[in-house]
Amino acid sequence: MNVLLLYHKCASQWILNVFGRLDVQNEFIFMGSKEPEKGNRVLRDNIGNVATVRDKKIYLTDVKFPGVGMWENINVQDEKFKSLFPPISKTVTVIRDPRDIIVSGYYSHKKIHPVIEGLWKDLPVQRSVLLKLNTEEGLLSTIDFLAYQFNNLKHLYKSKVTFFLFDDIVDNPYKLVKNILNVWGMKSTNIKQVVDKFTLENLKSGKVKTPPFNSDHYRSGSTGEWKDVLSEKVLNKFYKKFPNLIDEYEKIKSK
């Protein structure tokens, strides 16, 4: 099974928009956080555009499934997701410096990320908290709010998935997309066309729309922003609360 794992503030919306528009023969299916065994598609053998009797339902967990399942913010340690990891699956994910996740998360949660009824019920509460705090206090609060993600990353970093870096989206997005497809043995002829459409500039200006996320959602695509934003107090709290997380990230980045 081919798997693409998406994580909050790690370019998940960019990835969904780009990969969903590539001219690959294989289908990309967004699963959110649904259990893998609950995802299926009807595959058809067509003769003159008429489905034959060989139509059959195939599950994403079937090793013969020809597409890519995309899961978002799953709990790495949850047993129901074990089929999404090697050696069972060819699994890819894009990771970002956790300190930049704090910065991006803070600004997103405070005023940018859309509040959608029935989804992420904690966000409106956190937004009301952040609006009452100064920047440093808000960043400290964001560390606690995103604790579930940082604890998740601690286990993700130790898994044997194929990692790509958020930095690559900034530096060479064409190569990144091609290299991810290579993991699954796929090819696309319109990578440049799609990537050129979904540039940060186009997204920020509103030239390209990606509802329910408006142009404000795409605040910054820079890396290393944490160096100018996070105070010593904020960093000390993060390092104390999640020891060795940055070391594990740096190990992956240096490979």
Q: What is the domain partition of the chain in residue ranges?
A: 2-254
Please give the average per-residue pLDDT across 38-63, as a whole number. Answer: 58
The two three-digit tokens of residue 215, written as one number: 């142009």
- How far apart, in whole angstroms, are the C-alpha atoms of residue 242 and residue 155? 12
The pLDDT confidence band at residue 20, using thresholds 50, 70 and 90, is: confident
- Residue 62 pLDDT class (50, 70, 90 cuts): confident
Q: How far apart are CA 197 and CA 208, in angstroms?
A: 7
Q: Which of 177, 167, 222, 224 is nearest to 198 (CA)?
A: 177
Q: How confident is the model at residue 47 (pLDDT cuts 50, 70, 90)?
A: very low
pLDDT band at residue 190, thresholds of 50, 70 and 90? Answer: very high
- Local structure of 93: helix, strand or coil: strand
Query: Which two structure tokens, joined as six digits, stand for 114?
Result: 């859309």
The predicted structure's pLDDT at residue 17: 87
What integer pLDDT is reported at residue 13 of this predicted model? 85
Tell me the range of 26-30, 59-63, 114-118, 146-150 where mean pLDDT is highest. Answer: 146-150
| Cα–Cα distance for residue pair 60/37, rounded to 1 Å | 7
Pairing, β 2-6 against β 28-32: unpaired
CA 94, 160, 236: angle at the middle one, nearest 5?
60
CA distance 64 to 2: 10
Architecture of the domain spanning 2-254: 3-Layer(aba) Sandwich (3.40)
Residue with tokens 């996320």: 213
Give the pLDDT score at 49.
Answer: 47
Per-residue model confidence (pLDDT) at position 11:
87
If we measure between CA atoms, which residue out of 188, 222, 205 comes closest to residue 19? Answer: 188
Please report, for the chain, how many H helices and E strands are present, in that order: 12, 9
Q: In this model, does residue 207 exceed pLDDT 70?
A: no
The pLDDT score that the predictor gives to residue 67 is 82
pLDDT number for residue 127 = 93
What pLDDT digit, counting tens, does each position of 63-104 carry? 777 789 899 999 999 999 998 999 889 999 999 999 999 999
Q: How far apart are CA 159 and CA 153, in angstroms?
A: 10
